[in-house]
A and B are shown apart, each in its own frame.
Chain A
Amino acid sequence: MKPRSKRLMLLGGAVALLIGAVALVLTAFQENLVFFHTPTEVAEGKAPSGRTFRIGGLVEPGSIKRAADGLTVQFAITDTAKVIPVTYKGSLPDLFSEGKGAVVQGKMGPDGQFTASEVLAKHDENYMPPEAQHAVDQAQKTAKTVKQ
């Protein structure tokens, strides 16, 4: 092979590798995006069914209940406008408590019950998950516009 065509083949190989790798990354990215919805959006049916998504908001005071096995936890998450019931089996974060911000990730069941696979809470006392804050802000903004 001439040096020139050898160089071209090498370049072609590197570019093909690059394109293949990038295509892989983008496909995986597309498939694994997790969208976020506020409780109001979920209540309005805007959340996808059968796909994992996140809900953020406050843990409704008085809503945390443990099932008889002591491990399954039921609670509700709210943006102060709408309330979404959530079921979760597993350990809760240390800073998970009623009236505090939390983000849950999981799927919506046909019965309107959200089954969480992951529960995130804030990391320290004066810090609110941005997604939870966003949900509450949205709800309050909407509440104001409705009143006016």
Chain B
Amino acid sequence: MIPELGHFSLILALILALVQGVVPLIGASRNRLALMTVGRAAAQGQFLFIVFSFGCLTWSFINSDFTLQLAASNSHSATPLIYKITGVWGNHEGSLLLWAMSLALWTVAVTVFSRNLPEIFMARVLGVLGLVSTGFLLFLLVTSNPFDRILPGAPDGRDLNPLLQDPGMIIHPPLLYMGYVGFSVAFAFAIAALLSGRMDAAWARWSRPWTTVAWVFLTAGIAIGSGWAYYELGWGGWWFWDPVENASFMPWLLGTALMHSLAVTEKRGAFRSWTVLLAIGAFSLSLMGTFLVRSGVLTSVHAFATDPARGLFVLALLVLVIGVSLTLFAWRAPTLAGGGSFGLVSREASLLGNNVLLSVASGSVLLGTLYPLFIDALNLGKISVGPPYFETVFVPLMTPVIVLMMIGPFVRWKGDDGNRVLRKVAPGLIASVVLGIGAAFAIGHVTWRTALGLSLAAWVLIGSVQILWQRLTDRQGAGTGARLRGIPSAWWGMWFAHLGIGVFIIGVTLVGSLNSQIQVKMLSGDTAQLAGYTFTFRGVADAPGPNYAAARATLDVSRGGVTFATLTPEKRFYEAQGMPMTEASIDIGPLRDVYVNLGDQLEDGAWVVGLFYRPFISWIWFGCSLMALGGIFAASDRRYRRLAEREAPAGAARQAA
């Protein structure tokens, strides 16, 4: 009964989505207020129905209703409660429902937080979001109904893929989806702007916080996914350039470009067409990510199902979205007046350079991810593009991005004197290069990559201090404390996010230069050495879990004769899926991780053990956290709220009353 209610509720949500997608747009084109306001109610109703539907599905998973096809395939009566719940989205159908729910949540957030938008603009935004939602709900109900029954029910479930039974997987998909789907708001704002011809500074100001929040979610989602790959896949790596990772990285790169381009549009009115194009691009790449991950065209843990009907449906949706938006763009963009002009040496020019490079970087990932699929689809053979390609491309593409990132904040808008900028920037740059090369010698790993990475990181750190200093000394009067408090949170957002990039580069460079690993054969009492650490194997014992059997090894890790950690890697066997799995054990530290995994047992009773030394790897995720924190600061700037109030005093008054 409960699943039928969920199914029915989803159908109602589809009807409301259709209403939300059609009625406000008609209202906007005929200028009929009554029709325009339908959007809000429809969006909020749709959200409630989808949440109810999602709740029904979750209820069936929690109660192990194995007459439900989805629960029977992705859950098991012995699965711990939390993984019964995450099992809801650990599969194709459920994750699409999560996608639809994220979209509905974003839409409701728009109706709540952007209450002060002009009614006609809001109607268009909600209309576009409604159409996107219609497409996805239709996809869900037609090709991937999560509420399909099997009668008679299965005696027990086949369990969730053990790789997904992990704390990281509890929050990774929701965060990532909030990021992916969040770009739909930027997209809807862009399409609404094209429809209305209104693409001014106010429009950019409305879009900015939404884009930034979506970017924060995406950053956090990618970082957690990378962390999951690091400890759960058991190979000690943190990024594999797997197509699924790429699918989330492409919208991130373009989203980063979009955030910066929106800044220029707001401050200087320039880059308008480009900003709109980026908004369309970022959302299209999010959709394509969904397509790549969900259609089963990739060899990946995420490809739950291989069903051509689904792939075709998403592909059609993708073609429709890109086709219609680009047509609209081609039709309306020429009517946009050009923005303010700017000189060769200006903040606009540095941001333009960054935008070009970030877009090319995104395109290079797209090429590496899609080309093999095209070649395969055209029957021209099978090829693959591995990490060496991406690594070759990313260092030269990202280096100038970092350089521009460090110069940009010192350059004035509109136009600046090249010599003045050079005088400001040169001391920091020279100090950084000296410091970077010196550090490379100090750690005994002198390659151009290490020296480059450390120099760039040093520059980001030095430049950050310098820019903060400049900000504080520029202002006259008042004490330092007052001046610090006077800095708007948007500026802190930029500062923290850029600092995060520096921290991230330190992590990436040092783990790439100094990491080491060995594989050893160990019997109880054996010791092995790696990077100054001594590992003593204490044997293997059985350690059964709720839904798996496991062999758990115990290793003491010592340095200089002092044992400071006991690691317990496991080799698990998940009975319901008949699937073995490696569970690594890690001693996490601020300056290094010591990582151990357990391989096979050999005929003579010894075990193959993998020992990994990963210096500074946690800095990678610390850097990502700083970037996300920066995004939160940037989005929470008072300016967005204040201006919203000023632009619509009537709405604010209603609020107060």
Do A and B originate from a single complex? yes
Q: A residues touching B (Cβ–Cβ < 8 Å)?
A: 3, 6-7, 9-10, 13-14, 17-18, 21-22, 24-25, 28-29, 31-36, 54, 56, 66, 69-71, 89-92, 94-95, 105, 120, 123-125, 127, 129-131, 134
Of chain A, the residue at the smallest CB distance from B582 is A94
Q: What's the least CB distance linking B520 to chain A, in Å?
A: 8
Are the C-beta atoms of B388 and A32 separated by less than 8 Å?
yes
Residues of chain A lying within 8 A (CB to CB) of residue B234:
91
Of chain B, the residue at the smallest CB distance from A134 is B382
Residues of chain B lying within 8 A (CB to CB) of residue A123:
161, 163, 299-301
> Lowest 5 A-B CB distances belong to which pairs?
A32-B389, A36-B382, A70-B521, A28-B392, A21-B360
Residues of chain A lying within 8 A (CB to CB) of residue B388:
32
Are the C-beta atoms of A25 and B299 separated by less than 8 Å?
no
Interface: B38 (CB within 8 A)? no
Are the C-beta atoms of B356 and A18 separated by less than 8 Å?
yes
**Whole-angstrom distance between the alpha carbons of A56 and B603 in the complex?**
28
Q: Hey, what's the 0/1 contact readout for B355-393 against A, CB within 8 Å counting as 1?
A: 011001001100110010000000001111110110011
Residues of chain B lying within 8 A (CB to CB) of residue A92:
599-600
Are the C-beta atoms of A124 and B300 separated by less than 8 Å?
no
Q: Hey, what's the 0/1 contact readout for B604-628 against A, CB within 8 Å counting as 1?
A: 0010101000000000000000000
Residues of chain A lying within 8 A (CB to CB) of residue B300:
123
Q: What's the least CB distance linking B306 to chain A, in Å?
A: 8
Residues of chain A lying within 8 A (CB to CB) of residue B602:
66, 70
Pick the contact of A7: B341, B353, B578, B603 (CB < 8 A): B341
**Whole-angstrom distance between the alpha carbons of A14 and B577 in the complex?**
54
Q: What's the least CB distance linking B449 to chain A, in Å?
A: 15
Size bracket of the B interface: 35 or more
Are the C-beta atoms of A130 and B299 separated by less than 8 Å?
yes
Q: B residues touching A (Cβ–Cβ < 8 Å)?
A: 161, 163, 234-235, 299-301, 303, 341-344, 349, 352-353, 356-357, 360, 363-364, 367-368, 371, 381-386, 388-389, 392-393, 396-397, 519-521, 577-582, 597, 599-600, 602-603, 606, 608, 610
Are the C-beta atoms of B608 and A71 separated by less than 8 Å?
yes
A66-B602, A71-B519 given; A17·B163 CB < 8 A: no
Residues of chain A lying within 8 A (CB to CB) of residue B606:
70
Name, among A10, A18, A94, A127, the residue most crowded by chain B CB atoms within 10 Å (CB to CB). A94
**Whole-angstrom distance between the alpha carbons of A10 and B371 in the complex?**
32
**Whole-angstrom distance between the alpha carbons of A33 and B382 in the complex?**
10
Q: What's the least CB distance linking B258 to chain A, in Å?
A: 17
**Whole-angstrom distance between the alpha carbons of A35 and B163 in the complex?**
29
A28-B393, A91-B597, A123-B301 given; A34·B360 CB < 8 A: no
Residues of chain B lying within 8 A (CB to CB) of residue A24:
393, 396-397
Are the C-beta atoms of B360 and A25 separated by less than 8 Å?
yes
Residues of chain B lying within 8 A (CB to CB) of residue A125:
577-579
Residues of chain B lying within 8 A (CB to CB) of residue A17:
353, 356-357
**Whole-angstrom distance between the alpha carbons of A28 and B390 in the complex?**
8
**Whole-angstrom distance between the alpha carbons of A7 and B342 in the complex?**
8
A25-B363, A28-B393 given; A35·B383 CB < 8 A: yes
**Whole-angstrom distance between the alpha carbons of A130 and B298 in the complex?**
8
Residues of chain B lying within 8 A (CB to CB) of residue A29:
364, 367-368, 371, 385, 389, 393
Residues of chain A lying within 8 A (CB to CB) of residue B608:
70-71, 91
